[in-house]
Structure 1
């Protein structure tokens, strides 16, 4: 809980800090990486730094946390904190990093806002920072304990024992730990971190959703990321990693997981967002679930739809499941009412449905709006974002 004095100071200065956060966060990262270049080389996603998405996510989380402290002083924003904590744990973030971040972040704030950062203002925002940081440190400690790992030691050498071609730009990898220890426990919907050494010596880490759970391996799927900059890790995995090679793979983490029970469930995905949903469907089929299941997917066309056959097969195994697939450019014979963008308005959604969404932000925003209009409670709509979460504060 934020102290009364700091609450008023933060309330008064939030517009100024929030308005300048777009200048503060790039300067913060410049300062951080100048002193600790190893963090950019081996920890932070260089692609997200280059396109600015990491800066946007940091700005959004700080503003959202400060706003929550002011508007709801007796309620900690646990949903936001849990998402960040899971991502931090997947990277092996240690408590020792938080003072380093604080020092460079506050140096950036002081440089951008100048004389407006009085001792009182600095103390109030320092209180905000450490309320957030200490909450994350505690959450991450519990996650490490549950996973049987320690900060900075979450990656295990694994051998690639299988590689499958899903589409022209999606590959599935199956890996087994080299140390012979049992596979780590995983919940449907979670992801693993994968670290590779790139040609320049950088050891970059990315997270990939578990797209199924074979009995004797971890299975994750990777889309070759285009764009500017292109996905350097996804390209490396596609071009240089095959059966018999070794990867460093982390324990499964992620806060968007399929809850057990008998209530109806809706799984909505677009593009490569199908990977956690296929993982959830695989779990439902393997456990003989009899609950109502509605699977929704949208894609460019049939050839781009990863796990298209798996989707049909898994839905067929479930006694009360249906699938609804939209393609923007379908092959001849595809239903006309399933052409274009996904539209859930014609689907009967039972009362008490819990929904899980994964895909591009415009897709998830549109689907969420349709689910709310259909009577699904906001608390029952959960979403997974690949990359920095730029949807913080929009509801989960």
Structure 2
């Protein structure tokens, strides 16, 4: 895939480029948004820009893709590309935006590396960029075609038909297409994007897992992110918590996401924490509705029963599944096992497929426990809310 000459240059320069990637991506975003501020309106998440997560995710994906090309020159890193493509399609990235990103990214590379950014070095990394960009454009085109959309035109108006309070900070919105048309196809575990105008007039996008629904509606479940001394309040979640009500309309994308339930008879293990339960509840709804007989071990950790969103529904779904078991941990110990999730003493079904969702530190820890229990890495799937900072290490 990567020419021999470019591969030699990329291999030689990867350490210096990697060492400066944070500075390069910081310069890239700063310059691009300074000259193209309209990109912050309805495309880039300014919360992730402020906390640096988007910058770190971009740096990690570039380094990860380049390293994969060098390690396996005849293979394309499809797992990395698929995750990025779904994230891009969910926010309606278009082909022309790859040209814009290229301009500012390579301007930042030249500025930061200075004399080290020779024409040969720039040409080699340009080849890396367009191998990655071209593959993503093709994957995203396929995703859009599956949704009968043209280059990102997946947005649609939906009406809130019900709002349900799940916990003091978690609420569900039941949505129906405002045009009365059919629901777009969704696979269990996928998410949708919500495009909403903020009080200052700028539109922002956030992703929410599909936690349930029926033949006419879809349900998303949202946790209000409270601000702390060190972190800001969640911009979208706080606004929807305060204002969203039945009768309102929301602009919502088609469903996307590559972490979906497989069609097989293999046992399933779900391990979630906090609001990470939402895609798994969507999967459990599907399994119960289709009369699944797979062996299921559902594990969840939370602060307390009062803060455990959808726990009653989850318990009911587990009871409907003939070979399902539900184990919960609560830090406050009220109604579940005390403390944090611990696989010690649990029987992990042989040949199980494992799905993780929750805060990144939780997923790192519990993934390590599954690996220690003998579950192959290829059978452990995970979903991340926001930029995937874990991709390079996966």
Structure 1 runs, 4 residues or longer, greater than 3 Å off: none
Within 5 Å, give how 1:1-396 maps onto structure 2: 1-227=1-227, 228-331=231-334, 334=335, 338-395=337-394
Gaps of 5+ in 2: none
- Write the distance in 1 (CA, Å) between the matches of 2:151 and 2:16: 35
- Write the distance in 1 (CA, Å) between the matches of 2:62 and 2:344: 36
Q: Normalization by structure 2: what TM-score?
A: 0.98
Any idea what SS the aligned residue of 1:263 has?
Answer: coil
State the Cα distance separating 1:199 from its structure 2 match. 1.0
CA contact (8 A) 2:266 2:351 kept: yes
- Write the distance in 2 (CA, Å) between the matches of 1:208 and 1:165: 16
- Write the distance in 1 (CA, Å) between the matches of 2:393 and 2:33: 30
State the Cα distance separating 1:54 from its structure 2 match. 0.4
State the Cα distance separating 1:229 from its structure 2 match. 2.3
CA contact (8 A) 2:209 2:278 kept: yes
CA contact (8 A) 1:268 1:295 kept: yes
- Write the distance in 1 (CA, Å) between the matches of 2:287 and 2:29: 42
- Write the distance in 2 (CA, Å) between the matches of 1:326 and 1:114: 53
State the Cα distance separating 1:237 from its structure 2 match. 0.8
CA contact (8 A) 1:91 1:154 kept: no
* Deviation readout 1:229-266 (Å, 9 max, x if unpaired): 21111111111110000100110000000111111000
State the Cα distance separating 1:376 from its structure 2 match. 1.3
- Write the distance in 1 (CA, Å) between the matches of 2:205 and 2:225: 15
CA contact (8 A) 2:63 2:392 kept: no
- Write the distance in 2 (CA, Å) between the matches of 1:152 and 1:69: 28
* Deviation readout 1:119-171 (Å, 9 max, x if unpaired): 00000000000000000000000000001112242110111011111111111
Any idea what SS the aligned residue of 2:18 has?
Answer: helix
CA contact (8 A) 2:144 2:152 kept: no
Any idea what SS the aligned residue of 2:95 has?
Answer: coil
Q: Normalization by structure 1: what TM-score?
A: 0.97
Q: How many residues align?
A: 391
State the Cα distance separating 1:371 from its structure 2 match. 1.2
- Write the distance in 1 (CA, Å) between the matches of 2:215 and 2:169: 26
Any idea what SS the aligned residue of 1:290 has?
Answer: coil
State the Cα distance separating 1:330 from its structure 2 match. 2.2
